[in-house]
Amino acid sequence: MIRVGILDTSPIFLAGLVEVLSDAGIKVLDAGTSPTTRMPRPADAYLLDPDALPSGQVLSHIAALARHMPIIVMQSGEALDHASFTDAGVSLFISRSASKEVFIDAIHQAVAGTVPHDEGGTPAALSTATSPPLSEREKQVLRQISQGLTHGQIATRLGISQHTVDTYVKRIRTKLGAGNKAELTKAALLGQVVAGE
């Protein structure tokens, strides 16, 4: 069984990721939203949100962890200096908006040491799910679903018919490969849609 540690700034994202990994048979040993003074328990890989680390200590913290386990950096929209992170010991970069399958595959690659690299020797960034992107309206509907609203409540809030909401939900399910509202909510919480209205 693969064992991982996770450090991420968002408690909701963290909770969703822990659930997804647990469902995939990956044991989460440590999970937190801020770094501790102690070294995390030895794991097969460590998923790290650089925003969770104190400014000015990001690369040194990564270097300390990388001596003990492969590091997977979970990045948001802003560009990172991949070369500096790679020099510090990062094994793989992954977008926080990647699908659960991409996350699971990234962990398996890091643990197996089969991470793809670009021509310059930098680990490849795994970033995209194979599904097409959601439209802005589909994102709005998915956010409302993740808040527990019914299709009727969503229709009222967005000023559209319930039939239109039903159509959007069918499209979202197809694009995300989600079978029910729980899976749609998990997708929203894992960042497969852009936060905010």
Contact 2, 107 (CB under 8 A): yes
Torsional class of 161: left (φ above 0), alpha (ψ -120 to 50), beta (otherwise): beta
Q: How far apart (Å, rounded) are the C-alpha atoms in residues 177 and 140?
A: 18
pLDDT digits (tens, 9 = 90+) for 170-184: 888 777 767 777 777
pLDDT digits (tens, 9 = 90+) for 1-32: 999 999 999 999 999 999 999 999 999 998 99
| 122 vs 21, more confident | 21
- pTM, two decimal places: 0.60
Mean pLDDT, range 136-142, rounded to an integer: 87
Cα separations in angstroms, 194 against 20, 44, 73, 103, 142: 19, 30, 19, 18, 10
How much is the pLDDT for 127? Answer: 45
Local confidence band at 120 (pLDDT 50, 70, 90 cut-offs): low
What is the rounded average pLDDT for all residues in the chain?
Answer: 81
| 123 vs 186, more confident | 186
| 96 vs 131, more confident | 96
pLDDT digits (tens, 9 = 90+) for 56-94: 889 999 999 898 899 999 987 666 777 888 889 988 888
Local confidence band at 195 (pLDDT 50, 70, 90 cut-offs): very low
